[in-house]
Structure formats: structure tokens, C-alpha cells
Structure 1
Amino acid sequence: MPPLMERITDALSLVRNPRTGADVMAAEQVRDIATTVDGKVRFTLLLAPEDDATLVRDVRQAVEQLDGVSDVRVDVRDPAQREPTPARPAPAPNAMHHPTAPAPKAPGTGRALPVMEAASAPKAPPRVPDPVQYPNLGRIIAVSSGKGGVGKSTVAVNLAIALAKAGKRVGIMDADIYGPNLPLMLGVDAAPAVRDEKIIPLEAFGIKVISLGFLIEKEQPAIWRGPIVMKIITQFLRDVNWGQLDYFLVDMPPGTGDAQLSLVQATQVHGAVIVTTPQQVSVGDALRGVKMFERTAVPVLGVVENMSWFENPETGKPIAMFGSGGGERLAKECGLPLIGQIPLDPRIQEGGDTGRPIVDAEPDSKASKAIHLVAERVMQRLDERYP
């Protein structure tokens, strides 16, 4: 079998740019092909604004189907963008320097990646702007989780409604830029109005809400890097007419990425609520979320264990569908209080799909009562920290 690099270039030479009709290798649209011994492949694709974006998919699939390839990463770059000039490696001390001509490159293989770059003086890290205070938002609470699928958005929505039912003025911001779910969960889907250069948030169940889902088409993917995420979060804080609130909840995306860092850099977050499930894998991921907030000086108010048990409808006995004790273990390990355990109730899922959160639709259910208890404890924890 030919070497992997040769098979990669052969496969890419069969991919043609629909706009020009030329193959991407002959047109030198593919650069910097690099491979590892375990089959990881990375290269740059020069994609002009007038080129079809499906070309990215085509080149990736052409390489992915090759034997021995375990992973493919395509770095897309505008050909008009200036290409960085790699520095030459510094010669070893006391070594004689012999000028040599550059080695000829094989046709169609693109530029060779530099093996080493010269050491340069360390640059001072960019200054992080001081967080802006938004007194009108009241106490800002981040609802976060270490992984997806634990019911974080469900908890955030129902917690917001529970706070509103307690007589508080509440707003909720959907910071899950890549998968905004609040429009569906709250049953609101309309383009927000703009008045006096301020976005007017929509309202549902007594709370004000803003989400990127109101501003883009449902099928439009959000493919944005960190700086764009920062701009969106800042705009939702600064350019939305929230009025005067008592509590401002932020439904974070899962993990510890750009959105979390953008929020704590953009404003003072008064507290975080960590959502997990009883499963050990969920607990491990949630632990990283706790540590992230601690390192950014955001107090963690407590842990909420979702899907704690399922009540047998015939006997009324709890059934641990996803194990037990995960939230308690996480809280104990981090020295935090376990501020709530929410049972697994099919009506929670139904309410999320139909835009009727369970706190409003089934106020007497055990799940609703558990969420109201979480709301009380969150308010108590914030009152203790910010008397």
C-alpha cells in the first residue's frame, strides 16, 4: 500500500472546485498537509468567498474514507488573508552554519510545514477588560453543567418561573449560542422588536427572555468562534431593554468554553448553580464546571441533582433509574450544599417540548415542589453572600 501522504494527495486530487472546475491540489487550494503516526490528518483549505462552502465537506470526506486515517481536521482560510512567514530554526550553539538551498517540493503537495520555529521573546498577555456592572439586572446567576443531556436548560427555565412566582422580577438569557433551546421550552418564537436602539425581550410565564433562537432561522447553524460569542453575550447584556430585574438567569451551554469565560469577563456573576445527574460520568464533568467558576472568582451557590429518581406509579416507591448519590458526592467533594434533587417526571419532558414548563403546567407535582425549593435556597444563598 502506498504511503499515507501519497494516498491523501491522490484522494484530494479527485476533488474538484465546482466554481473553477480544477482539482484542489492542482489549484494549490490545499496547503500544509500533516499527518501523525496514529492516522491524524490536518491541512489548510484556501476557500475564497465566492467558493461553495460544501468544498470543505468534500475534502474532509475524501480523506476520512482512506484506510489508516483516524481523524481529519481542515483549517479553512481566505486566500486573501496574509500568510504568516515561518521563522527559521535557530542554529545550535557552536555549530557551523552552512547555507543550503531549499529542498524542492513534490508537485501538488502544497507547502511543507516548518519543523521548528525560532524562539521569540514572550509577549505580554492581552489585558482582559474589567467586567461591566449592570445594576438593573439584579443578581446574575449562571446555570451550568459539565456535559449536555442533564436537563440544565429545563432547570434554568423552571427555576426562573419559580422565582417569578415568588414575586420576583426575573429575566433569562440563552447563552447557549450553538444550541438555543429556550424558544421551544417557553413556547415563544418571534423576532424581538427594537425600540430606541434597544432590543425588547419577549415575555413568557412572567419572565423576560432573550435568545439567539429569536434572531436566526431554526435550521441555520451557529458556526462562530470565541470573539463572536463574546460579542453576542455582551450585546444581550448591554443592548436589551431588560428594565429593572431582581434576578437575571443565564442558561449556559454545557462545558467550560467560550461562553462561560465570555460571561465572567463581561460582567459580575453573583453566583452559579451546577446541574448534574446521579451518574458518575455526569458528576466528573460537573466537577470541572465547579472548578472553572471557582478559578474565575464566581461563587458556586450549590449543586442541583436532576433526574434523581423515578416514582413507580403503582407503588409510589422511588426507582433510581440513573444510579444514586451523584449530586451528593459532587457537593461533598467540592464543599458545596446540595440545594435540590429533582425527580424524573415524563411531564417535564412533555412540557419542554410543548412550551409548558412543569412549574407552571403541574404546580402541585413533586418535581415542581422540588424546583420551588431550589429557588428558595438560591435566594437564601445569595442573601447570605450579598446582604
Structure 2
Amino acid sequence: MTSPDKESLKQAVKDALATITVPDGEVKKAGSPAQDIVGAGLVSAVIVDDEARAGIVLDFGTSAPGDVEALRTAAENAARNVNGITQANVVLTAAKTETAAKTASARPRPNQTGPAPTLKRTPPPPPSPKEIPGIRHIIAVASGKGGVGKSTTSINLALGLKEQGLKTGILDLDIFGPSLPMLLGLDARPNAEDKKIIPHVAHGLTAMSIGFLLDVDQPVVWRGPRVMGATQQLIHEVAWGELDVLVIDMPPGTGDVQLTLVQQAPLSGAVIVSTPQDLALIDARKGLAMFRKVGTPVFGFIENMSYLNCPSCGHEIHVFGHGGAEAAAQELNTPFLGRVPLHMRIRESADAGNPIMVSDPDCPEAAAYRSIARKVAHSLETAEG
């Protein structure tokens, strides 16, 4: 539970933000007469961590002001000037809308008679992926549905790639259910320098997640445009440094985050995680189809929770079926990267913030991740030509 001191600091930050005027009245939300950014409903979240660092989320909806950087600077400065606050970082979420432009274009001119002309609008082309400075390769780890162990696979795959001599980072893009803070045992807020978020470093990995910017119990109730804005910021406004590979832990499904990622960053490839059961494989096929549709190479399928070794006799127990992911990979002409067994120590190490590749590197489960990482590293070498 948040301490009273942190609550007091949080309220003091909100009071400081309430001194900032809404720019030109542009972004005031409907029904909010107040002209400060707090009263206008633009401050989506304020958090203060144990080191008195403030994190602020400004949500502009679909009408961002002309100079969002000026507003970001004003908010950061106001928070930093609060007595007791050691640092402040502001996250922006916004999306532009064409509704007003369409309405204006259809409005009759003063001397116009008859119905307004029908104007054909050519939709703008999708944004072209932009290289992230210093990063050679980006790998997306995806699944068609939740609950298949994708995040645990992502962190252990990243650690396996690091073992291969690759300087590796990991980005948690699951905006609604970030897992990386727990998987790494971290809850500190990241610092910021020169308008860039400074990622954490844990177990030799450079790491970033929206979970580092929000309270652990705070739900994210954002619509698609806000999610897309946060995704863009996590990709392009983090000081990643020099990395051989960035592993991106995707949310389940094929929604806004997936679309934003393929439009914002050039992917070297993707990995699909599934359990052997038919239901999971149906959704995994959708994920494969999505990446193929946007021209992203799929390095292969991973069958997670593939089997359980009987603690008494060592016999394999196929809790969720057997061989489904491998069969699907063969059918879809996609490489099969390997099986990861279902074992208590994988779950225990993940919950403790000490992944199995670190806590027990010589166990069979770590060996499975290591084998998969070698295959993915080979795919990266092949992609480089």
C-alpha cells in the first residue's frame, strides 16, 4: 500500500500541475469548464515511487495541442519544483482525428446552393517503419491468445540470446498487462534525460515496460489511439543505446499494438508461442498470418508447456496435448524452434523476478530455452546475409 508521504507528494504534484493552463483551450475535454490540465481531465495518472520520483501520464484524447513538447516540459518542471520530488517524467498519449477536417470540407460555402459536394478523400499512407538508432535487430515474441507463457518465454529467450554473445534488450509492449517488472523483480521508476527515458538494466538486459511508469494496481483504461501513442513512445523515446537485438514481448492477439509496431519499427523477425492444445493453435495461426501479411519473417513456433515430467517415474505427461505446435509448424511451412516443458521451477523463478536462465542455468528447462535461442540467433545471422 502507498505510504502517506508518497500520497502527499502525489497530491502536491497534482496541485502543481493544476497551475498549468490548457493550451489555447484546444484539448479541454467535453463537460470540463476548467482551463488547467488537471481540471480539464488531461492528467491520466500521477505516481510517486519510493525514491520520490514522479511519473505523469498526459492523455490528450483525439485533440492534441500544437506543441506537446512545450506542455511536457511545463509539466515536468512543475513536478520537479515540488518540494521533495527528486525527478519527474511525463508520458504523452494522443491521436489526431480527421473528423473535424471532414466536417469542414463538407460544410456549404456562403454562396453555395444545393447540396454540399461530395469530396473524395484519399486515406494517408501508413507510416513507414523507422530504424531505432543503435539497434541491429528487433524480434517480436507473439501469441494468438493469452495464458500461453509468452512473457516468460520472452525473458528467457532474451537471456539465451545474451548467452550467445549478443547485446540484448527487452521491451514489454503489453500495455494492459505488463509482466516485465515482476519477471525482473523491478519496480523503480526509470530516469529521463534529454526527453528520453533511461531503461533499466537487469541480468545484463536493457529493459523497459509501461509497468515501470504506472502503479502496479492501476488499471490502464485507454482506447486504441492512446495505446498506439504509448506504444510509439516506448519504441522511439527510450534511450536504448547500442544493442544487437531487442526482444519485444507483445500483447496477445492481433490488435492496435501489433499494427503500431509493424508500422513504427522494422522487424527482423517474429516468434510465435503456443501451447499444444487446439484452441491455442487456432489463435497462433492468426498471429502467423498477420506477420506474413505485413512481410515480417516468422522464425518459428515454440511449444510451451509441452509436457510434464512425472515426479515419480519421469514419464512425460501431456497435460495440454502433444505435438500440436510442431504439427502446425510443418503444415504452415514454418520452422519449429523447440518444446519447453511445464515445470514448477519455471513459474517459481518467474514470480521471484529471477528467470530460470539465471536462477538454474543448468536445469533441463534452461537448456530448452538455450536451444531455442541458438536457433533464433542463427536466423538473425541468416537475415543479415
Q: Is the shorter-chain TM-score for this pair beyond 0.5, marking a shared fold?
A: yes
State the partner residue of 1:255: 253
State the partner residue of 2:321: 323
Alignment check: 8 A CA contact 2:292 2:298 kept? yes
Which residue identity does 2:146 align to in structure 1?
Answer: G
Deviation at 1:237, TM superposition (A): 2.1
| Structure 2 residue corresponding to 1:124, chosen from 117, 122, 125 | 122
Pair 1:49–1:281, CA change in 2 (3 A): farther
Map Cα deviations across residues 341-387 of structure 1 (whole Å, 9 max, x no partner).
00001111111211011111111111110000010000111211222
State the partner residue of 2:160: 162
Task: Give SS of 1:159's match.
Answer: helix
Q: Is residue 48 from structure 1 mapped to residue 31 from structure 2 by the alignment?
A: yes
Q: Is residue 270 from structure 1 mapped to residue 268 from structure 2 by the alignment?
A: yes
Map Cα deviations across residues 163-185 of structure 1 (whole Å, 9 max, x no partner).
11222211111100011110001
For the residues of structure 2 that align with 1:140 and 1:119, how far apart are their CA atoms? 47
State the partner residue of 1:196: 194
State the partner residue of 1:244: 242
For the residues of structure 2 that align with 1:121 and 1:324, how far apart are their CA atoms? 57
Map Cα deviations across residues 9-68 of structure 1 (whole Å, 9 max, x no partner).
xxxxxxxxxxxxxxxxxxxxxxxxxxxxxxxxxxxxx97348xxxxxxxxxxxxxxxxxx
State the partner residue of 2:213: 215
Deviation at 1:261, TM superposition (A): 0.4
For the residues of structure 1 that align with 2:168 and 2:117, how far apart are their CA atoms? 52
For the residues of structure 2 that align with 1:276 and 1:119, how far apart are their CA atoms? 52
Q: CA RMSD in A?
A: 2.5
Alignment check: 8 A CA contact 2:62 2:225 kept? no
For the residues of structure 2 that align with 1:49 and 1:355, how far apart are their CA atoms? 43
Task: Give SS of 2:218's match.
Answer: coil
For the residues of structure 1 that align with 2:201 and 2:314, how far apart are their CA atoms? 37
State the partner residue of 2:300: 302
Map Cα deviations across residues 50-90 of structure 1 (whole Å, 9 max, x no partner).
8xxxxxxxxxxxxxxxxxxxxxxxxx999xx98x99xxxxx
Task: Give SS of 1:250's match.
Answer: strand
Alignment check: 8 A CA contact 1:161 1:207 kept? yes
For the residues of structure 1 that align with 2:378 and 2:301, how far apart are their CA atoms? 14
Map Cα deviations across residues 103-138 of structure 1 (whole Å, 9 max, x no partner).
xxxxxxxxxxxxxxx996653222212110125112
State the partner residue of 2:228: 230
State the partner residue of 2:369: 371
Alignment check: 8 A CA contact 1:276 1:327 kept? yes
State the partner residue of 1:187: 185
State the partner residue of 1:60: none
| Structure 2 residue corresponding to 1:206, chosen from 204, 207, 215 | 204
Map Cα deviations across residues 215-264 of structure 1 (whole Å, 9 max, x no partner).
01112211222222222222222221111001101000000000000000
For the residues of structure 2 that align with 1:362 and 1:369, how far apart are their CA atoms? 10
1:132-143 equivalences under 5 Å are 132-143=130-141
State the partner residue of 2:355: 357
Pair 1:249–1:77, CA change in 2 (3 A): closer
Q: Which runs of 5+ in 1 are unaligned?
A: 1-45, 51-75, 86-117
Deviation at 1:192, TM superposition (A): 0.3
Deviation at 1:196, TM superposition (A): 2.7
Alignment check: 8 A CA contact 1:47 1:77 kept? no
Pair 1:244–1:49, CA change in 2 (3 A): same
Q: Which runs of 5+ in 2 are unaligned?
A: 1-28, 34-60, 64-98, 104-115
For the residues of structure 2 that align with 1:316 and 1:363, how far apart are their CA atoms? 20
For the residues of structure 1 that align with 2:117 and 2:317, how far apart are their CA atoms? 60
Task: Give SS of 2:169's match.
Answer: strand
Identity of aligned residues (%): 44
State the partner residue of 2:54: none
Alignment check: 8 A CA contact 1:128 1:265 kept? yes
Alignment check: 8 A CA contact 1:229 1:262 kept? no
Which residue identity does 1:48 align to in structure 2?
Answer: G
Alignment check: 8 A CA contact 2:184 2:355 kept? yes
For the residues of structure 2 that align with 1:247 and 1:301, how far apart are their CA atoms? 14
Deviation at 1:276, TM superposition (A): 0.3
For the residues of structure 2 that align with 1:161 and 1:189, how far apart are their CA atoms? 20
1:51-200 equivalences under 5 Å are 123-200=121-198
Pair 1:350–1:120, CA change in 2 (3 A): farther
Pair 1:316–1:267, CA change in 2 (3 A): same
Bigger-Rg structure (1/2): 1
Which residue identity does 1:257 align to in structure 2?
Answer: G
For the residues of structure 2 that align with 1:234 and 1:257, how far apart are their CA atoms? 14
Which stretch of structure 1 is more off in the superposition, 205-214 or 130-139?
A: 130-139
Alignment check: 8 A CA contact 1:184 1:354 kept? yes
Pair 1:336–1:191, CA change in 2 (3 A): same
Task: Give SS of 2:306's match.
Answer: strand
Task: Give SS of 1:344's match.
Answer: coil
Alignment check: 8 A CA contact 1:147 1:254 kept? yes
